[in-house]
A and B are shown apart, each in its own frame.
Chain A
Amino acid sequence: MRPYDDIDLSSRAFWSTTAADREKTFALLRKERPVTWHPPVQDALLDDPDDPGYWAVVRHADIVAISRRNDVFVSGQGVLFENIPEEMLEASQSFLAMDPPRHTKIRKLVSAAFTPRQVARIEEAIRANAAEVVRELADAGSGADFVEHCAKKLPLRTLSDMMGVPEDRRVATAEAANDLVAWADPVHLAGREPLDMILTSQVYLHQVAFELADERRTHPADDLMTNLVRAEVDGERLTDEEIAAFFVLLSVAGNDTTRQTTSHVLKALTDFPDQRAWLAADYDGRIGLALEEFLRWASPVMTFRRTAVAEVELGGQRVLPGDKVVMFYPSGNWDTEAFADPNTFDLARDPNPHVAFGGGGVHFCLGSQVAKAQLRALFRELLRQLPEIRAGEPEYLAGNFVHAIRAMPCHF
């Protein structure tokens, strides 16, 4: 047995603090012990008596190295920090938790919908939706909850449009997706058992996916679901179960990341008025660069894991086959080896090699262009329609997966 490091990264308490508090711990590890061995997550969703723990990886360079070496650090044995019943993973992870060659084939099926060219095609719709969302926020009035009345709305509409989710299922789909990342938050759970909430949400998303797949077989449309029901891999159609698992993945990955980034950025623009003024002075000329800092600052996904399948040296440690390796993305995004003054929200930061979309390699965020198109459109509208908008105090969600803001008032 390897000894565990004294630093705590596995407790509920650690993941119930703020990002700034956690960064103090990460900074210490980055400086002194970049790769350390830790016990499994405390009060995990699933107690696995055979789970010895994981390597914590906190440096930017190591996160990038692991992400790119998908031959050594595989995803097929799970990618979430926590242990989750295999049944649920199978039902929700799709190609996120696959390795080549299967990963390459499944990802390719959907990647056509996410190319810059395709995103440019839907950008007009995104802009129109963004304008409408901000108008609705203005109608809700100053003091309204920014998450409820703005941040969560645009990704919900974009994703539903892309996938073809019918109007009457959209809100519940986004809520179910949000449940799937909020299992560790007592307020969000409101007395529910985490696994029961996850099961209910997954089942709902599957039902939507099954219905939609059936519908698109008989009534094809210009959307992703139509492509999925028609697609073949190695001469075989995807099963409804494979399509449903992809739908869960897309619902979570598409809703929660952009939603959280939007909220974090409004807070940052409030806290750094000079940066806001700089951006507003030439929005179209500066937003391209600024977006990268939006993403670094928000670091919406905090953790993903890989499993080593070969012996490899990492940060002075010997990682053995079968070892779990957890990447802490906010730590990578605050690494002074990669970013000067990481505590400064610097919209002109250039270069900005943030790992908010992952550290590169085959699992680099498929939706990165869609996310950027939405952030670009939404902040253009916010600064245009509500130039005085300010964020109040955010309520952070407890948990080790998504850096989430549950609610945050805004004033304008």
Chain B
Amino acid sequence: MSGFTTSDEVRRYLGGIFETAFADAELGPKLAATGLVLKLAYTEPNATIIIDAPRQQVRVAQDGEQTDAAMTMSSDTGNEYWQGKVNLTFAIARGKVKVDGQVAKLLKLAPLSKKLFPVYVDRLRADGRQDLIVGG
């Protein structure tokens, strides 16, 4: 796996999977019901995305925008997470993921978000991005 090279790619794939989640008949309403506005700050390359659950929106964060909850991780870790390769509690303990605010609400959705792992991988494959698939 070689990893993302531009911020645009990070937004397209790691933001895109939340758009897929909002569109999902089962997961969409549950995600919205969390009422969470989550800031996902990816590094290497940098891209900061806001997941606005009540509005069911994914957008680019404005400078210094504050949210209820924030997670910071490398875009590699984000990519691995959506392929089911990252256990969040271990990653937090290792300092690979930093969390701020009530992120446990998201863990409640874990069984549902797991259903998106194959969707994420399929999208990478469909776009010819074998290079981003872990072990691919």
Contacts and interface: CB of A to CB of B under 8 A. Distances in A.
Interface stretch (A67-75, A86-94, A95-103, A313-321): A86-94
Interface string B84-118: 00011110111000000011110110110010000
Given A91-B89, A199-B89, A241-B87, A85 B110 contact: yes
Contacts of A232: none
A88 B107 contact: yes
A198 B104 contact: yes
Interface in B56-110: 87-90, 92-94, 102-105, 107-108, 110
Contacts of A85: 107-108, 110-111
A48 interface: yes
B108 A47 contact: yes
A324 to B, nearest CB: 15
A195 B87 CA distance: 15
Nearest to A239: B90
Contacts of B88: 87
Given A48-B111, A87-B110, A241 B103 contact: no
B110 A203 contact: no
Given A46-B108, A47-B108, A199 B103 contact: yes
Nearest to B114: A86
A206 B105 contact: no
Nearest to A48: B111
B70 to A, nearest CB: 14
A199 B105 contact: no
A251 to B, nearest CB: 14
A46 B106 CA distance: 11
A244 interface: yes
B95 to A, nearest CB: 9
B89 A87 contact: yes
B104 A193 contact: yes
Contacts of B26: 49
A14 interface: no
Contacts of B108: 45-47, 85, 195
A365 to B, nearest CB: 25
A198 B88 CA distance: 13
Interface of A is mostly: helix
A204 B87 CA distance: 15
Given A193-B102, A196-B102, A202 B110 contact: no
A206 B90 contact: yes
Nearest to B95: A207
A181 B64 CA distance: 38
A47 B112 CA distance: 10
A198 B107 CA distance: 11
A67 B92 CA distance: 35
Interface in A32-87: 45-49, 85-87
Contacts of A91: 87, 89-90
Contacts of B102: 193, 196
A210 interface: yes
Interface string A177-206: 000000000000000011110110011101
Contacts of B87: 87, 90-91, 241
Given A87-B87, A90-B87, A193-B102, A199 B93 contact: no
A244 B104 contact: no
Nearest to B107: A85
Interface string A210-226: 10000000000000000
A195 to B, nearest CB: 3
A193 B110 CA distance: 16
A241 B90 contact: yes
A183 B47 CA distance: 35
A87 B114 CA distance: 11
A194 B102 CA distance: 11
Contacts of B105: 193, 195
B110 A206 contact: no
B110 A86 contact: yes
Contacts of A49: 26
A203 B111 contact: no
Contacts of A47: 108
A348 to B, nearest CB: 46
A195 B90 contact: no
Given A87-B89, A206-B93, A207-B93, 8 more contacts: A45-B108, A49-B26, A85-B107, A199-B107, A204-B93, A206-B90, A241-B87, A244-B90
24 contacts: A45-B108, A46-B108, A46-B110, A85-B107, A85-B108, A85-B111, A86-B110, A86-B111, A91-B89, A91-B90, A193-B102, A195-B105, A196-B102, A196-B103, A196-B104, A199-B92, A199-B103, A202-B89, A203-B89, A204-B93, A206-B90, A210-B93, A241-B87, A241-B90
Interface of B: 26, 87-90, 92-94, 102-105, 107-108, 110-111, 114
